[in-house]
Amino acid sequence: AKAGGRNNFQFFTQEMNQTVQERLVLEGDLRVAIERGEFLLHYQPQVEMSTGRVVGVEALLRWQHPVHGLVAPDRFIPVAEETGMIVAIGELALKAACRQLASWLAEGLPPIRVSVNLSARQFRQDNLPAVLLDILRETGIGSHLLELEITESSAMDNPAEAILHLQGFREMGVELAIDDFGTGYSSLSYLKLFPVHRLKIDRSFVKDIDTDTDDAEIAAATIALAHTLGKEVVAEGVETEAQCRFLQGQRCDIVQGYYFSRPLPPEELVPYLRNTPVP
């Protein structure tokens, strides 16, 4: 689908340039996509630096559009957010990711975590804990094998409320990560109060980590701070060996990026796991 090139995606131009007409078509298509179940997930491995093992996968949404082919989330999630459709789509993603993990476990794959992205709107939904409990019960996966990723900005939107929601998830045994860390404005005092297991250093800091001293220092400080608070660090967007080496030197716990693997369709992830050490 990526090979299809950008032209296939012209229909979904940057939101700012979208005509009202295009936007209405996209909204209508999204509604149909929810009914017809046109969404699927790709899975990107997360590698533990100390052992080289795959300890988890991040589930990333894709839309198999009947005309435009495989559509990346940046093209439709903003509109799904604005219209509220993200709540239904996000629920589908949560359910699909947990079902996928249950089926891998049934096939005898060693247990790994599956991380699912939560939109700000989903995170605020009062019935999310009930939805989660249903999914965990239906799929039978251990709650500690599910990780929810909440962006720093959605956590900081209303930190006091976020802490309550996070505590609720934590009591269910679900693991938690702050996504895109460093791009928002969380104060250190809040970071201490967020009951999360991990921080994910945003790709924008990882990109020039081995050449830009500012980025290197930010990453090093983030890792040290997280460890002081008893949290693990995941670096996202790791593309080169040099970035990897730097992160290893800083004792980053987990790495994720094209250097190891692109997000893979589930049928490609299994052979990848079979050829890579897993716990």
Q: In the complex, which residues of this chain contact Ca ion (CB under 5 A)?
A: 117, 149, 179-180, 236
How far apart CA 154 and CA 100 sit, in angstroms, is 27
Q: Tell whether residue 179 is a contact of ligand C2E (CB under 6 A).
A: yes
Q: Which of 167, 208, 258, 271 binds ligand C2E (CB under 6 A)?
A: 258
Using CA atoms of 87, 93, 95, 98 in order, give the dihedral in degrees to the nearest 10.
-140
Task: Compare residues 20 and 247 and give the one whose CB is closer to ligand C2E.
Answer: 247
Task: Compare residues 84 and 230 and give the one whose CB is closer to ligand C2E.
Answer: 84
Minimal CB distance to ligand C2E: which residue?
257
How far apart CA 22 and CA 177 sit, in angstroms, is 35
| Segment interacting with ligand C2E, rule: CB under 6 A, options 16-24, 99-107, 221-229, 230-238 | 230-238
How far apart CA 62 and CA 71 sit, in angstroms, is 6
Q: Which of 45, 63, 65, 90 binds ligand C2E (CB under 6 A)?
A: 90
How far apart CA 150 and CA 120 sit, in angstroms, is 7
Task: Compare residues 73 and 129 and give the one whose CB is closer to ligand C2E.
Answer: 73
Within 53-72, the residues that bind ligand C2E by CB under 6 A are 60-61, 72
* 48, amino acid identity: E
Strand bridging mode 175-181 / 146-151: parallel
Task: Compare residues 30 and 61 and give the one whose CB is closer to Ca ion.
Answer: 61
User: Where are the alpha helices (H) located in 72-151, listed in sequence order?
Assistant: 73-83, 85-106, 120-124, 128-139
93 binds, among ligand C2E, Ca ion, none (CB under 5 to 8 A by kind): ligand C2E
Task: Compare residues 250 and 256 and give the one whose CB is closer to ligand C2E.
Answer: 256
Nearest distance in Å: CB 67, Ca ion: 28
How far apart CA 29 and CA 78 sit, in angstroms, is 14
Strand bridging mode 39-48 / 54-65: antiparallel
Q: Which of 33, 237, 246, 250 binds ligand C2E (CB under 6 A)?
A: 237
237 binds, among ligand C2E, Ca ion, none (CB under 5 to 8 A by kind): ligand C2E
**CA neighbor of 123 nearest in space, from 79, 178, 68:** 178
Plot region of 251 (φ>0 → left; ψ -120 to 50 → alpha; else → beta): left
Instruction: List residues binding ligand C2E (CB under 6 A).
Output: 44, 60-61, 72-74, 77, 86, 90, 93, 117-119, 179-180, 203, 236-239, 257-258, 263
